[in-house]
Structure 1
Amino acid sequence: MTGTAFVFPGQGSQRLGMGRHLLAQRPDLLDTYYRVADDHLGIPLSRLSWHGPARDLDDPVVAQPAILLASLATLEVLRGRGIEPDAVAGHGLGEYAALVAAEVLEWTDALSLVRLRGELTATVADRVQGATVAVLGLDRAAVARLCAAAATATGRAVEITGDNGPGQTVVSGEAEAVTAVMGAARAAGAARVAALKPGGPFHSRLLRGVEAEFTEALISTDFREPRIPLVSSVTGTRVTTAAEAVVALRGQLTSPVRWNQAVRTLDACGTHRFVEVGSGLVLGGLIRRITPGARVHATHTARQLGLTADAFTAAATGV
C-alpha cells in the first residue's frame, strides 16, 4: 500500500450548500447521483443539502445520507479528473463512502444503510438525553479516568468514543455524565473542551439496543471483496474481506472511532498523500497532527477542489 489515500469525513461535517459546487463542473451529477438519491430515499435530500433549513440538516436521518452523498459526488469528480486512490479510509460514517470507493458496496446500498443507521441512532437520541464532546490537550488515559469517575459519581453512562489523534479525544454518553467530564477535564488542564453537534450518544454502548436490527440489514446487503486497500476506523487496521467489512460496520455503532490508529496504519504502509473527499475539513488537520509532514488536500469548495486537481496534475507531469 503506497501513495495516495482518499479519506472520507463523518457526521458533523454537514453544512448548507455542501456538494453544490460540484455541479458547475459536472452537471450530470444532478441526474446520476442527486435525483437518484432523492428518489431512492423518498426525501428531498439534495434540496435539504443545498438549502436547508439547517435544523433539518443536523437531524441524523438527513445528515448522514447527505454527508455520504456529498462524498460520493466528490469522488466521482476526482475520478473524472483521473485522480484515483491507492487506499481508502473513512472517519466513522465516512467508512461507508470508503467502502463504495473500494467497490465493496454499491452506492445506493450504502445510502440505504446510512439512512437506516441515521434512523436508528435518532431513536436512541430521542430516548436518551445524550451529548458528545471533544477534549483537547489531555491524553487518552487521563480522559478515560475522568469518564470512569463521572460515571461513578452520576450513575450515568459515559465513555471514550473517539481517538482522533494525539491529545484529541471524543467522549459520548448521557448528558449529565458528559457534563461532569467537561468540568473535570477543564479542571485537569484541558486546552479545550467543546460540545459537538449533533449531541447524541454516538459510537457508545447506549446504541446496543439497535444493533440487532441494523445487523439484519447488513446481512441482507451484498458486500464484495475490497478492490483496493481499505482501512477501518473501527479497528484501525486493514479490511481484507467482505465478511470483515460487515463485522466492522456492525461494530461501528457501539465502538469508538480509532482514527489515530487508522491514519498510522496508512502511514506505516507508505501513504504519503491524503485527500479529504467531501464536505469536511477536519480530517486534514487531524492527519497533520498524527503524521507531521503528510501532504493533505481538501475538496469542500470549488477552489480547494481545483487546487487539489492541479496538484495531482503537476505531480503526474513533473511540473
Structure 2
Amino acid sequence: MAKIACIFPGQGSQYVGMGKELFATSWGKEVFETGQRVLGEEFIQILLEGPEEELKKTANTQPAILLTSVAAWRGLQEAGIRPDYFAGHSLGEYSAYVAAGSISLEDALKIVRRRGELMQAAVPEGKGAMAAVLGLENVKVEEACRKAREEGNWVVGAANYNSPGQVVISGESSGVQKACHYAKDLGAKRAMPLAVSGPFHSPLMEKAAKDLRPVLEAVNWREPSAPVISNIDAEEVKERRSIVESLVRQVSGAVLWEQSIRYLGEQGVDTFIELGPGKVLSGLVKKILPSVTLMNAEDLSSLEKLLAYLKESR
C-alpha cells in the first residue's frame, strides 16, 4: 500500500505574510494565538507585515516558518490524515517533531527562537559564509573543501546534501571562497554565495550546539507517533531519548537530505507532502526520486487541492 511522508521546510523558504490564510481558519487560529502568546505582538507583526529584513533575521525566521508549517499540518490533522513518516530540513525537523506529537508547539517555538539567537550570535558577521555548489558529485565537493582546508587551515565543509548535484558548503568566509574556486576547477557548473547570516551546519556552530543542549534537555519529549527521519544520519528516530542528541548534533553537522529522501523511497514512500512556505523541498525531492507524487500546502487553495487528491487516492 502507498505510504505518505510529510516534510517540512527550513530557513530560506520564508516570505512576509506566509500562513495568513491558514491562521484565519478554526484550526489555525489556535496555532496563531500560541505564537502570539509565546513570541509577542511585535513578532506577529513582522511575520504578517514585515519588513522583510526583520523576517530574514534568524531569530525571527525560524519560529515564523515553524508556526506556518504547523498551521498547514493542523489542516491535514483535522482531515484525519496520518502519514507514515515525518522529516524536516534543518529547522524543519522541529516542525516534524511537533507534527509527530513529540513536543508541544509552545515548547518548540521557545526552542527555535533560542536556537536562532544562538546560531546568529555564534560567529561575528562577515567571518562565516555558505555557498551552493551545483553540478558536482558529492565526493568532489568534499574534495574541494578538503583542498581548501589543507591550503589555509580554514574551517569549511559540506553543510547540506540537498539533491544530486546540489551541495551547500559552509565555514569561514575565506575557506568557502577557496573551496568554491576548487569546485569550479573540479567541474562544478556553478558555485555561488548564499545570502545567510552565518555559517550554519559547520563546526563554527559547535558553541551554539553546546548552548542549545540544556534548552533541549529541559523539555518533556515524547515518542513520535510515526518515525521522524533525522537530518544528521538519515535514520529513523523512534525513541524520545534519541531526539535531543540528534538535534544537538544537527546544529554543527551536515543535513543529509538527499540520503533521507532516498531512505524514505526505500521504505515504500511514494507520496511526499510539503507543509509550510514555498516548494523548495518538493523541487529537491523531484530530483532525488523523479517518479513520486509531490503535493504541498502553504495556503487554503493548496491545502484544499491536497485534501481533494488524498480523498480520491486513498
Shorter-chain TM-score range: over 0.9
Task: Show the counterpart of 1:46.
Answer: 44
For residues 78-129 of structure 1, the C-alpha deviation after alignment (integer angstroms, 9 at most, x for no partner) is 2223333221011111000111111111111111110110000010143562
Indicate the percent of aligned positions where both proteins have the same amino acid. 35
TM-score relative to the length of structure 2? 0.94
For residues 217-238 of structure 1, the C-alpha deviation after alignment (integer angstroms, 9 at most, x for no partner) is 1111111111112211121010
TM-score relative to the length of structure 1? 0.93
- 8 Å contact from structure 2 (residues 203, 253) kept in 1: yes
Task: Show the counterpart of 1:163.
Answer: 161
Query: Following the alignment from structure 1 to structure 2, what is the Cα–Cα distance between the partners of residues 128 and 215?
Result: 26
Match of 2:260 among 235, 252, 262: 262
User: Offset at 1:72?
Assistant: 0.5
Task: Show the counterpart of 2:171.
Answer: 173
Match of 1:289 among 279, 287, 290: 287
For residues 222-279 of structure 1, the C-alpha deviation after alignment (integer angstroms, 9 at most, x for no partner) is 1111111221112101001001111111111111000111111111111110000001
Paired AA for residue 182 in structure 1: C
User: Offset at 1:199?
Assistant: 4.1
Counterparts of 1:66-215 in structure 2, within 5 Å, are 66-126=64-124, 129-215=127-213
Task: Show the counterpart of 2:231.
Answer: 233
Task: Show the counterpart of 2:3.
Answer: 3
Match of 1:220 among 215, 218, 221: 218
User: Offset at 1:301?
Assistant: 3.9
Task: Please identify, of 132-141 and 208-217, the stretch whose mean Cα deviation from structure 2 is larger.
Answer: 208-217
1:230–1:132: structure 2 CA closer, same or farther, 3 Å change rule?
same
Query: Following the alignment from structure 1 to structure 2, what is the Cα–Cα distance between the partners of residues 52 and 206?
Result: 30
Paired AA for residue 120 in structure 1: L
Task: Show the counterpart of 2:28.
Answer: 29
User: Offset at 1:28?
Assistant: 5.5
Structure 1: 5+ residue runs without aligned partners? none
Q: Does 1:303 align with 2:301?
A: yes
Which secondary structure state, in structure 2, belongs to the residue aligned with residue 261 of structure 1?
Answer: helix
- 8 Å contact from structure 1 (residues 2, 86) kept in 2: no
Task: Show the counterpart of 1:246.
Answer: 244
Which secondary structure state, in structure 2, belongs to the residue aligned with residue 276 of structure 1?
Answer: strand
- 8 Å contact from structure 2 (residues 9, 277) kept in 1: yes
Task: Show the counterpart of 1:16.
Answer: 16
User: Offset at 1:286?
Assistant: 1.0
Query: Following the alignment from structure 2 to structure 1, what is the Cα–Cα distance between the partners of residues 125 and 100?
Result: 35
User: Offset at 1:29?
Assistant: 2.5
Task: Please identify, of 183-192 and 116-125, the stretch whose mean Cα deviation from structure 2 is larger.
Answer: 183-192
Task: Please identify, of 236-245 and 183-192, the stretch whose mean Cα deviation from structure 2 is larger.
Answer: 183-192
Query: Following the alignment from structure 2 to structure 1, what is the Cα–Cα distance between the partners of residues 167 and 22?
Result: 33
Which secondary structure state, in structure 2, belongs to the residue aligned with residue 105 of structure 1?
Answer: coil
Paired AA for residue 61 in structure 1: A
Over aligned residues, Cα RMSD in angstroms? 1.8
Q: Which runs of 4+ in 1 moved over 6 A?
A: none
Paired AA for residue 29 in structure 1: G
Query: Following the alignment from structure 1 to structure 2, what is the Cα–Cα distance between the partners of residues 136 and 216?
Result: 37
User: Offset at 1:51?
Assistant: 1.2
Query: Following the alignment from structure 1 to structure 2, what is the Cα–Cα distance between the partners of residues 199 and 217?
Result: 22
Task: Show the counterpart of 2:312.
Answer: 314
Task: Please identify, of 159-168 and 149-158, the stretch whose mean Cα deviation from structure 2 is larger.
Answer: 149-158
Aligned residue pairs: how many?
314
Query: Following the alignment from structure 1 to structure 2, what is the Cα–Cα distance between the partners of residues 92 and 202?
Result: 10
Which secondary structure state, in structure 2, belongs to the residue aligned with residue 307 of structure 1?
Answer: helix
- 8 Å contact from structure 1 (residues 34, 45) kept in 2: no
User: Offset at 1:196?
Assistant: 2.4
Paired AA for residue 139 in structure 2: A
Match of 1:274 among 269, 272, 275: 272
User: Offset at 1:190?
Assistant: 1.6
Query: Following the alignment from structure 1 to structure 2, what is the Cα–Cα distance between the partners of residues 50 and 293?
Result: 36
1:140–1:28: structure 2 CA closer, same or farther, 3 Å change rule?
closer
